[in-house]
Amino acid sequence: MNPDELCASVGRSLPALFECTPARREGVRVRTPLMYPDGGIVDVFVVERAGQCHVTDFGKALGWLRIQSASARRSPKQNRMVEDTCQTLGVELHRGQLMLRPDGAEVVGDAVLRVAQAVVRVADLWFTLRARAVETVADEVADWLGEKEMSFDRAVNCHGRSGRNWTIDYQTRTNDRTAFVFLLSTGSRGAARRVAEHVLAGCVDLSHLRVSQPHLAFVSLFDDTEDVWREEDFSLVEQQSVVARWSRPDEFERILLAA
């Protein structure tokens, strides 16, 4: 089949939210309604080789995951999680690609769905990378606060005006100031903006607390040991909080001690 015929055949087996168009090199591209953690659209490709359809992501899932990690190689645990995902969905891992070889045109749509789901699950391994990175920095900050003999609590829950429950990374207390410290840490440039937007939303939703507590300060502590932040990210949270950088602990200490 030529690309137009293949596209028409594949399109008939998929829901309306899936958009099928001829690919640049070979086969057709299926744009799905699914997304990567950074908001990118998941694309799956269908190619015909020797009369058989192959459904593949052309290695985009593992490529995306590699970009998010500081390490060029996946850990053994991550490899096991990728293999478990493929086994669960019946997807083949072939030379870095998530792939299926359906038996007939009538099941191509199902294969597209399974490969797209595998892409999302593999990309979601990024959350395990991010959780470990944030946890490591969070422990470093906690140890630093302890060394400074500063009174603080971790993971303090507060209700916002919207009714939403927010977790404050640290609540510090001195004679003159109480501070809610939000830790902004990520290894992904694509996720950095979302992290900043989340902190801004928390500051806005909790701003009513400053009416009854005039000495309460909101502090956004950026883990700038990762080169992922843009000036716009700092400016965004600066509207509702004092910006501190983990690379400048003396400055962070002055902010916490300020009257």
pLDDT at 1: 66
Task: Record the pTM.
Answer: 0.51
Number of domains in the chain: 2
Last residue within a domain, chosen from 123, 154, 176 = 123
Q: How many angstroms from the chain centroid is the CA of residue 244? A: 23
Q: Are 148 and 139 in contact (CB under 8 A)?
A: no
Q: What is the CATH number of the domain that holds 248?
A: 3.40.1350.10
pLDDT value at residue 258: 82
Do residues 232 and 243 lie in contact, with contact meaning Cβ atoms separated by under 8 Å?
no
Point out the domain boundary residue: 123, 155, 179.
123
Last residue of a domain, one of 98, 123, 148: 123
Mean pLDDT per 10-residue run, the chain (259 residues)?
Answer: 73 82 83 87 88 89 78 67 90 92 74 92 76 69 91 93 92 91 87 92 93 91 88 94 93 87
Q: What is the pLDDT of residue 222?
A: 95
Contacts of 174 (CB under 8 A, 6+ apart): 150, 151, 256, 257
**Domain range for residue 185?**
128-257
Residues 19 and 115 grouped into a single domain:
yes
